[in-house]
Amino acid sequence: MDISEKVIAIIAEQAVLDPSDVRPEHTLQDLGIDSLGLVESIFAIEEAFDISIPFNANDPTEGAFDISSVAAIIAAVQGLVQART
């Protein structure tokens, strides 16, 4: 499973959807993921990739980690995984 598939699987699980229903252009809001679900998704992604995501729930849009869409999250995770290696 590549990074993209793994991130989508995590988001799909949080949204209680089938991974095939999660599209890159979707926002987390589109998928019905609330602030608590977002924090859980971030945690699951950190655990899955052994990375640390800069994220403050007080202002989710402010940090360096782009959560504006599924595609943006995948790109940000790819960046963090690359930076790790």
Partner 1 sequence: MNRVVITGAGTINALGNDVPTTLAAMREGKCGIGPLEIRDLDRLSVQIGGQVRGYDELSHFNRQQIALYDRFTQFTLLAAAEAVAQSGLSFAGELSARSGVVLGTAGGGVNTWDENYRSVYEEGKNRVHPFVVPKLMNNAAASHVSIEYNLKGPAFTVATACASSNHAMGLAFQMIRSGMSTVMLTGGSESMLCFGGVKAWEGLRVMSKDACRPFSATRNGMVQGEGAGVFVFEDYEHARARGAEILAEVVGFAMTSDAADIVMPSKQGAARAIAGAISDAGLPRDCVGYINAHGTGTAANDKTECAAVADVFGPHADSLMISSTKSMHGHLIGGTGAVELLACIMALRDGVIAPTIGYEEPDPECALDVVPNEARDAQVDVVLSNAFAFGGFNAVLALRRI
Q: Which residues bind partner 1 (CB under 8 A)?
A: 35-36, 39, 42-43, 52, 55-59
The nearest distance, CB 25 to partner 1, in angstroms, is: 25
Rounded to 10 deg, the angle between the 70-84 and 35-49 helix axes is 30
20 vs 58, which CB is nearer to partner 1?
58
49 vs 55, which CB is nearer to partner 1?
55
39 vs 71, which CB is nearer to partner 1?
39
